[in-house]
Amino acid sequence: MTTVTTATTGTTGTTSVQAPSVGTGHTRVEGRDKVTGAARYAAEVPFADLAHGWLVLSTIARGRIVALDTDPVLAMPGVLAVLDHRNAPHLVTDYQGMLGTPDPTCAVFQHDRVPHLGWPVALVVAETSEQAREAAEALVVRYEEEPHEVELTGEHPDAYPVDGHMPAVTEKGDLDAQLAASAVVVDAEYTTPEEHHNPMEPHAATARWDDGRLEVIDSNQGVTWVAGELANLFSLDPASVRVRSEHVGGGFGSKGVRAHQVAAVMAATLLQRPVRVVLTRRQMFSLAGYRSPTTQRIRLGADPDGRLRALEHRSLSRTSTVYEFVEPSAGVARVMYDADAHHTANRVVRLDVPSPTYMRAPGEAPGSFALEAALDELAEKCGIDPIELRLRNEPETGPVSGLPFAGRNLAACFREGARRFGWADRDRRPGLRREGRWLLGTGTAAASFPSGAAPSTATATAHQDGTFTVRISAADIGTGARTALTLVAADALQVAPERIRMRIGDSDFGPAMIAGGSMGTRSWSWAVKTAAGELRERLALGADIPAEGLTVRSDTTEALGALAPAERHSFGAQFAEVAVDVTTGEVRVRRMLGIFAAGRIVNPLTARNQFLGGMIWGISMALHEEAARDRASGGPVGADLAGYHVATHADVPRIEADWIDDTDPDDPVGIKGIGEIGIVGAAAAVANAVWHATGVRHRSLPIRPDRVL
């Protein structure tokens, strides 16, 4: 930190020479609280008279509950109540929330149907967590079982196109004609498995009624969002619901409104005392959402020089029978490459499985694996360097939308990345480099992720002692958002960051965007800068600071409405070097580099962490992650961190993330958003490097040793 403060701040204003904070590395403002244990997470906030709820999940994959033998359980030590579909409060579910219709999995205990294994059938509430767990495990539930189907196959007769947050299908030009006219064709099917978010902190909520208001201490990605959903579900006045979520140990898309908050609110209402419900790691595999497996077919047709004539990207994913969620993997093709004929489609099939949901870079993560691997195959067939092939296919405008790009610095990312990675020395031919029992190879892939902002409100308050408090219903899910917003506020107020208290994670601070869609920090910064900037102006004009402080409120709805339509995205270039053990089939990533053009970087320290986290997840996706679902039971196999493999420290080699200057002229701070792009293209870069090492294409993830041999 370099701060040159010669500040004199009195009750009438601020005069200071303050070096900018945005763009300088700053450790997390709550870092000390986190490492000393002073920071309390949702399951740690103490309450007098706290009761504990334990969810009971179905052990069948499809059917009906015929009996719940609750009497013996109610007689067990400490047990206070058992909630199920016979005695639970009625919920309203036909509403449109912040992200549309809710997944009915959160609307617990409303009927006797079981749509998948791991469906919540009861909540046992007891004086202690241990008593609740013991009773929950003793509860006998009788079912009438029906046949189920959980397997996604290549082409399913019941698959249908689903829009989700983008149109399901886009079609431009005559695909067959362009493929027929192409000198070089790639036609390949790629698959990715069921993948699960595993934030370190499990989902947890404590609900209580406090003076006529419902208060929920929760671990989530947006208090505005969760408060709104709870108000809708329970038909409550939104002003009577307060959700707080001060510290969050990871989310990745999984932390919205889910069964545990709703069950906790039900129990707190019936018992009229605080009730806490925590999901176990195992329960998270059924109740936290996950990434659907995908089957993707890519057809590329090109002239001998690599120029694309035809591009088809068709994706099939899976959803539950109760909720329509599409993993929009074909969407990335609509941004990345143009072709005379350009067809994309996102389809789903409904099966007897838990509902999938948003998981870091939904669509782009699996979609970029397929598309960027196919580009690598095309480069091989054309005999062109894979970076050169991409540069030859850089579109002038949005391939599908026709809109101009508001900044597309992909080529600059490739140039900088190639230089730093040493790409120029690369021999394109596969399977040539050997070091003992290791075959060595390098690979690259492009990345992109949409850049957006959503309306948010913030307040900035000046205090008489020269400090400031900024309040916004933001969520710091580990990204460093709280610190980034502190830096943004510091610059807007032209003071040192140390003089700002950044308060987040409280729905009473007013509506704001969630930590999602890589839009959190951009949306919140816009509101924070607006409020803090106006406060500074008022202080500069000599406004008095009363005893309770001088407060300015912002709302960015109007400013965002004025943004001109454009293709707005962050971009990146991923590079990987792998070593493949010819005796065991093990793939080890030796080094990885990501260069991003992702708007102005607010805090280089935490931004680098965010990029690296995504890239490491890309390694994990390429080599390790795969949830097995047992066809016979319909349930997950090895639903824990022993059975579900994620990259560990030993799997992560020399890894670097950096960026080029890419300030967004349409954003008040210059931000584009960096939440998710780190994972995009990362798995493809690894897979392409495995091909370069071995000469064998792996089109199914993960690239396990048994698949390599």
Least separation in angstroms between CB 478 and ligand MOS: 11
| Residue number, 70 or 521, with CB nearest to ligand MOS | 521
Shortest Å, Cβ 247 to ligand MOS: 17
Please, are residues 122 and 83 in contact by the beta-carbon 8 Å criterion?
Answer: yes
**Does 618 participate in binding ligand MOS (rule CB under 6 A)?**
no
Given the complex with ligand MOS, which of 97 and 653 has the nearer CB atom? 97
Q: Is residue 524 involved in binding ligand MOS (CB under 6 A)?
A: no
How far is 470 from 488, CA to CA, in rounded Å? 11
Q: Give the CA distances from residue 360 to residues 250, 467, 517, 614, 617, in Å, rounded to whole numbers and listed in that order.
A: 11, 36, 8, 8, 9
Candidates 253, 386, 450, 480; binder of ligand MOS (CB under 6 A) is 253
Written in H, E and C, the secondary structure of 505-539 is: CEHHHCCCCCCCCCCHHHHHHHHHHHHHHHHHHHH
| Helices and strands: H and E segment counts in the chain | 17, 29
- Check if the beta carbon of residue 279 is closer than 8 Å to that of residue 219: no
The nearest distance, CB 516 to ligand MOS, in angstroms, is 3
Greatest alpha-carbon span in the chain: 77
Residue 397 beta carbon to ligand MOS: minimum distance, rounded to whole angstroms:
26
Does position 289 interact with ligand MOS (CB under 6 A)? The reply is no
Residue (of 130, 285, 135) closest to 122 by Cα position: 135
Residue nearer to ligand MOS on the CB measure, 338 or 676: 676
Q: Say how far apart CA 522 and CA 664 lie, in whole Å.
A: 11
* Burial degree of 704 (CB within 10 A; 0-12, 13-18, 19+): middle
Query: Among all residues, whose Cβ is closest to ligand MOS?
Result: 253
516 near ligand MOS, judged by CB under 6 A = yes
3-state secondary structure of 597: strand
Task: Please say if 676 is a catalytic residue.
Answer: yes
42 touches 219 (CB < 8 A): yes
Q: Provide Rg for the chain, Cα atoms.
A: 26
Stretch that binds ligand MOS, among 204-212, 248-256, 433-441, 654-662 (CB under 6 A): 248-256
Pick between residue 53 and residue 199 the one whose CB is nearest to ligand MOS.
Answer: 199
Tell me whether residue 164 or residue 497 sits nearer to ligand MOS (CB atom). Answer: 164
Using the rule CB under 6 A, which residue among 517, 533, 572, 614 binds ligand MOS?
517
CA distances 219 to 51, 245, 624, 682, Å, are 18, 5, 27, 28
- Minimum CB separation from ligand MOS for residue 256, in Å? 9
Residues 207-246, interacting with ligand MOS (CB under 6 A): 221
Are 193 and 702 in contact by the 8 Å Cβ rule? The answer is yes
Q: Is the peptide bond before 102 cis (omega within 30 degrees of 0)?
A: no
Alpha carbon distances (Å) from 89 to 262, 270, 437, 628: 10, 9, 63, 35
Size of the site for ligand MOS (CB under 6 A): 10
**Judged by CB, which is closer to ligand MOS: 439, or 683?**
683
Residues 348-367 that bind ligand MOS (CB under 6 A): 358-360, 362
5 to 11, 336, 490: CA distances (angstroms)? 18, 45, 12
Note the helical H segments in 8-144.
31-36, 70-74, 129-138
- Taking alpha carbons only, the member of 1, 4, 7, 171 closest to residue 536 is 7
Instruction: Identify which of residues 313 and 360 has a Cβ nearer to ligand MOS in the complex.
Output: 360
Interface with ligand MOS, residue 369, by CB under 6 A: no
Q: Is 211 left (phi over 0), alpha (psi -120 to 50) or beta?
A: left
Least separation in angstroms between residue 358's CB and ligand MOS is: 4
Q: Which among 120-128, 251-259, 415-423, 587-595 is the span making contact with ligand MOS, rule CB under 6 A? A: 251-259
- Return d(Cα 495, Cα 491) in angstroms, integer: 7
Q: Rounded to the nearest 5°, which phi and psi values hold at 592?
A: -145, 145
- Quote the least distance from Cβ 253 to ligand MOS, whole Å: 3
Q: 364 vs 626, which CB is nearer to ligand MOS?
A: 364
219: Cβ–Cβ under 8 A, 6 or more apart, which residues?
Answer: 41, 42, 43, 201, 202, 203, 204, 205, 245, 247, 248, 249, 251, 255
What is the helix, strand, coil percentage profile of the chain, to 5?
A: 30, 25, 45
Closest CA to 495 of 466, 463, 459, 527: 466
Residue 288 in the binding site for ligand MOS (CB under 6 A): no
| Type of residue at 553 | R
Using the rule CB under 6 A, which residue among 102, 120, 164, 251 binds ligand MOS? 251
**Which is the catalytic residue, given 195, 201, 416, 676?**
676
Concatenated DSSP letters for 406-464? S---HHHHHHHHHHHHTGGG---SSS-EEETTEEEEEEEEEEEEE------EEEEEE-T
* Residue 687, helix vs strand vs coil: helix
Q: Which is nearer to ligand MOS, 170 or 254 (CB)?
A: 254
Nearer to ligand MOS, 255 or 471 (CB): 255
Task: Kindly tell me which of 358 and 596 has the beta carbon lying closer to ligand MOS.
Answer: 358
Q: In this complex, which beta carbon is closest to ligand MOS, that of residue 248 or of residue 384?
A: 248
Q: Is 244 buried (19+), middle (13-18) or exposed (0-12) by CB count in 10 A?
A: buried
- The total number of residues shown for the chain amounts to 709
- How near is the Cβ of 98 to ligand MOS at its closest, in Å? 12
Question: In this chain, which of 41, 190, 225, 252 binds ligand MOS, going by CB under 6 A?
Answer: 252
In the chain, the amino acid numbered 307 is R
Binding site for ligand MOS (CB under 6 A): 221, 251-253, 358-360, 362, 516-517
Which are the catalytic amino acids? 676
